[in-house]
Amino acid sequence: MQIGIDQLAFYTPQTYLDLTDLAHARDEDPDKYRIGIGQSEQAVIPVTQDAVTLAANAASQIIDQDNRQQIAMVLFGTESGIDNSKSAAVYLKRLLNLPDNLRTVELKQACYGATAGLQFAHDYVLLHPDKQVLVIGSDIARYGLNTPGEVTQGGGAVAMTITADPRLLILDDASAFHSEDIMDFWRPLYRREALVDGRYSENVYIDFFKAVWQDYQGQTGRSIADFTAFAFHLPFTKMGLKGLRAILPEATAAQQETLMQNFEASRSYNRRVGNLYTGSLYLSLRSLFDNATLHTGQRIGLFSYGSGAEGEFLSGTISPEFDSKSSQQWFEHFFASRKQLSVAEYEAVFNRQLPAHDVLLDTSDDDARFVLKGIQHDQRQYLDRSKKAVTDQ
Ligand code: COA
């Protein structure tokens, strides 16, 4: 049976920072950010969006009356959760008006969470081919103003439905994974910003990639010649380039050219949005789908990495029903209608954090369908503008 990604949607707010402006403000050469880091723009997330609303704004694009009753599980990958007890998935379930006969779970292993969800979803659909699983990767990447990681911030959500006979990517059964308890990036419960040992993290990322790539080849007998493209977890897009370069010498000159071209396609959206943590690999996959020329049956390799650390190499082939036109149009419109912020405006948004007490937020600057309206009795209050009513939580 063929199982994989049937739909893949993305959401991030329309406010962004041009990283040339940030470079000037931080007294850096803009080429360090544009070329050295591989980022041009960065999504700026207002206080009226959290991991749940970002996810709802992404998932509402692919959940409708046709598939709502078929959804059996919501697997929510995040490392910017809003509640230490309840899963973000169960909040999302109500915003999307999903049926009650549903499993709702949050998955955490840094940026790897959505991949765990994807694989659990694959195995569930194998046993229940008439069902669908909604997999989410939703995060806000915060390192802090004036830190080396600042240029690699961002945020947003991807939402995927995993089904039998998928219309985008048919997942292969084989995958290779590797985990070790290390401290390359972490966020203690009392902190809003992540702590990172950036250079160490880059080295571990490459080591894990090489280890799982070798393991995968041993399991399957496949080599780089079997792949049309690779999509990488992209905390910043230069990281994926470093990953690809680690194995590129295994390919012929002609294949190297194709792989490099497709890598450029796969980082086009991420370069303009920044880091989404759990969703980054899947935004890159979406970028590849929309910006490369792909044909049925071609094999794509995916490298997922979550600091701390877990790495997995998985693969899939392009579905016979593959079509990316409507997504291309969505992104064209999205990028054309974004609002650029000055560095001072970005800093003000960054510093405006949700207090640890009841509050009513001004949502007038946030045009999303789902927004966070405030906190009442220590419970987050969400607004679904399509209903014109507050959903009390
Ligand atoms: N033109 C072009 N490239 C330039 C440049 C210029 N003027 N100036 C510097 N560069 C290059 C450097 O050579 C370097 O390239 P390399 O990585 O290929 O060696 C790159 O830009 C970054 O420069 P560096 O001085 O190392 O930057 P930094 O000390 O500010 O830190 C990170 C960069 C990525 C380590 C830092 O942003 C970080 O820690 N980010 C978070 C990473 C993360 O999230 N990791 C965990 C998830 S995997």
**Residue 127, both tokens:** 């046993």
Say if ligand 1 is within 6 A of residue 35 CB. Answer: yes
What dihedral angle (degrees, nearest 10) is formed by the CA atoms of 330, 336, 342, 347?
0
pTM value? 0.97
Residue type, 246: A
199 lines ligand 1 (CB under 6 A): yes
Q: Is any atom of ligand 1 closer than 6 Å to the C-beta of 205?
A: yes
Do you know the residue count of the chain?
Answer: 393
What atom in ligand 1 is closest to the CA of residue 242?
Answer: 18
Answer whether 17's CB lies under 8 Å from 151's CB. Answer: no
Backbone φ and ψ for 212, nearest 5 degrees, come out as -75, -30
The verdict on whether 111 is a catalytic residue reads yes
Which of 168, 136, 125, 121 has its CA nearest to residue 63? 136
- Note the pLDDT of residue 387: 86
Q: How many CB atoms lie within 10 A of CB 119?
A: 19
Whole-angstrom Cα Rg for the chain = 20
Sheet holding 359-360, edge to edge: 359-360, 370-376, 379-384, 389-391
User: For position 388, what pLDDT does the model report?
Assistant: 59
29 annotated binding-site participant: yes
C-beta of 316 in contact with ligand 1 (< 6 A): no
Ligand 1 in contact with 245 (CB < 6 A)?
Answer: no
Neighbouring-strand partners of residue 136: 76, 159
Tell the residue nearest (CA) to atom 44 of ligand 1.
Answer: 235
Clarify whether 79 is annotated catalytic. Answer: yes
SS3 59: helix
Give the model's pLDDT for residue 393. Answer: 44
- Atom 27 of ligand 1, residue of closest alpha carbon: 148
Ligand 1 centre distance from Cα of residue 194 (Å): 17
The token pair at 14 is: 């329309």
| Residue ranges making up the domain that contains 320 | 3-392
Residue nearest to ligand 1 atom 7, measured at CA: 32
Which DSSP category does 355 fall into?
A: P
Q: Domain tally for the chain?
A: 1
Contacts of 217 (CB under 8 A, 6+ apart): 223
- Asked if residue 152 has its Cβ within 6 Å of ligand 1, the reply is yes
CATH code where residue 311 lies: 3.40.47.10
193 in catalytic set: no
Give the number of other Cβ atoms within 10 Å of residue 303's Cβ: 27
Per-residue confidence in pLDDT tens, the chain, 393 aa:
999 999 999 999 999 999 999 999 999 999 999 999 999 999 999 999 999 999 999 999 999 999 999 999 999 999 999 999 999 999 999 999 999 999 999 999 999 999 999 999 999 999 999 999 999 999 999 999 999 999 999 999 999 999 999 999 999 999 999 999 999 999 999 999 999 999 999 999 999 999 999 999 999 999 999 999 999 999 999 999 999 999 999 999 999 999 999 999 999 999 999 999 999 999 999 999 999 999 999 999 999 999 999 999 999 999 999 999 999 999 999 999 999 999 999 999 999 999 999 999 999 999 999 999 999 999 999 999 998 544 444
Residue 275 marked ligand-binding: yes
Tell me how far the alpha carbon of residue 300 lies from the centroid of ligand 1, in angstroms. Answer: 27
Q: Please state, in angstroms and rounded to a whole number, the distance separating the CA atoms of residues 259 and 182.
A: 31
- Phi/psi of residue 305, each to 5°? -135, 130
39 C-alpha to center of ligand 1: Å?
A: 11
* CB-ligand 1 contact for 37 (6 Å cutoff): yes
Amino acid residing at 159? A
Choosing from 41, 233, 310, 312, the catalytic residue is 233
Name which of 350, 357, 391, 363 is nearest 153 in CA terms.
350
Give the pLDDT score at 260.
Answer: 98
